[in-house]
């Protein structure tokens, strides 16, 4: 292993990043992020149900069509029970929305708090002194920014992918070999742009470090690439269990929980990888001359002094 690290710089970099990750208890910090991030999914579902309820509440025709579809899909007592539950949810959509918003703010802020503390430990080896007002304001801004960037990235990827597919259909090229892969790669590339922005924010703003963005860009690219791999693996897993009702019910929740944990672990490892890389660069840089005159090596003028 030592011989491999001495020969391959990238392997040594990964090993040093892994050591930093272990010393700062990255797995433990990722577990905290996972718990509150998974908990935040439930109030998000309440918010979605509330929005749907508010939209349906003003359209009786849409309500009747939805109720009819439910009765046809679930005949008998089960269908009637589902219609009653949905009708009650529509009537109380406002209350459900407030509960969902409160739960999301609590779980979301706790998620950002755990993420910030973990990033501070990895970058600085310690946690900054807590300040209730400053920390909560910072976490609210971070939560809103992360949500906005995530939604914008997903929306841009979806719009461009759909537009590309329609253009290919219009040109009668949709069935040609290679164009489907091209559209998929285009979507991945656009998603990577959003991921890079998110990881730049994770690496600089969340831990409160002052490194220039250009020096953090390699770490952001490393994180964005790994995150896309995790998304592809997660999508493949969901497609595997989608054909089974039982697997979807239990495997879906477990799969989401495991996926969130993997993303949290990889995010902290990316921070460790970036931090160790910057430290190696600073160590390898030549120290300035005492008089401030940094003469290049091999300069004849320097040799004659």
| Average pLDDT, 10 consecutive residues per value, the chain (305 residues) | 67 89 93 94 83 78 79 72 74 83 91 91 82 80 78 67 68 64 76 88 87 92 92 82 69 86 95 89 61 46 43
Q: CA distances (Å), 262 to each of 17, 23, 257, in order?
A: 16, 18, 9
Q: CA distances (Å), 173 to each of 163, 177, 197, 275, in order?
A: 13, 9, 33, 46
What pLDDT, on a 0 to 100 scale, did the predictor assign at position 302?
43
Cβ atoms of 53 and 37 within 8 Å: the answer is no
Nearest to 267 by CA among 211, 201, 191: 201
Nearest to 91 by CA among 53, 45, 52: 53
What pLDDT, on a 0 to 100 scale, did the predictor assign at position 264?
95
Q: CA distances (Å), 111 to each of 106, 139, 143, 173, 221, in order?
A: 9, 9, 9, 45, 23
What pLDDT, on a 0 to 100 scale, did the predictor assign at position 28?
94
What pLDDT, on a 0 to 100 scale, did the predictor assign at position 304?
44
What pLDDT, on a 0 to 100 scale, did the predictor assign at position 19?
92
Render pLDDT for 232-265 as a digit per residue (tens, 0 to 9). Answer: 888 888 778 777 666 666 777 888 899 999 999 9
Domain extents for the chain?
32-130
CA atoms within 13 A on the CB side of 25: 14
What pLDDT, on a 0 to 100 scale, did the predictor assign at position 303?
42
Nearest to 96 by CA among 156, 36, 52: 52
CA distance 47 to 130: 31
Render pLDDT for 8-34 as a digit per residue (tens, 0 to 9). Answer: 677 888 989 999 999 999 999 999 999
What pLDDT, on a 0 to 100 scale, did the predictor assign at position 156?
67
Contacts of 31 (CB under 8 A, 6+ apart): 261, 264
CA distance 112 to 139: 6
What pLDDT, on a 0 to 100 scale, did the predictor assign at position 298?
43
- The pTM for the full model equals 0.76
């Amino acid at each position: 292993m030592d011989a491999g690290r001495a020969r391959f710089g990238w392997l040594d970099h990964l090993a040093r990043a892994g050591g930093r990750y272990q010393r700062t208890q990255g797995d433990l910090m990722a577990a905290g992020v996972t718990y509150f991030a998974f908990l935040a999914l439930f109030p998000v579902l309440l918010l979605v149900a509330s929005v749907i309820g508010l939209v349906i509440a003003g359209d009786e025709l849409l309500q009747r069509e939805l109720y009819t579809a439910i009765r046809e899909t679930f005949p008998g007592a089960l269908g009637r029970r589902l219609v009653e539950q949905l009708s009650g949810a529509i009537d109380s959509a406002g209350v459900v929305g407030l509960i969902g918003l409160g739960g999301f703010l609590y779980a979301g802020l706790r998620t950002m708090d755990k993420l910030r503390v973990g990033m501070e430990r990895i970058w600085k080896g310690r946690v900054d002194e807590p300040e209730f007002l400053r920390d909560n304001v910072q976490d609210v801004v971070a939560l809103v920014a992360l949500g906005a960037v995530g939604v914008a990235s997903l929306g841009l990827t979806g719009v461009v992918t759909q537009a590309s597919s329609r253009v290919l259909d219009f040109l009668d090229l949709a069935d040609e070999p290679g164009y489907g892969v091209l559209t998929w790669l285009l979507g991945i590339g656009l998603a990577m742009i959003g991921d890079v922005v998110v990881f730049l924010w994770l690496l600089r703003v969340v831990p409160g470090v002052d490194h220039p963005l250009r020096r953090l860009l390699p770490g952001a690219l490393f994180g964005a690439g790994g995150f896309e791999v995790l998304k592809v693996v997660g999508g493949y897993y969901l497609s595997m269990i989608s054909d089974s009702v039982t697997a979807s019910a239990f495997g879906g929740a477990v799969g989401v929980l495991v996926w969130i944990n993997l993303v949290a672990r990889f995010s902290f490892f990316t921070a460790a990888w970036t931090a160790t890389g910057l430290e190696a660069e600073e160590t390898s840089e030549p120290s300035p001359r005492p008089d401030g005159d940094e003469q290049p090596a091999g300069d004849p003028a320097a040799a004659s002094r």
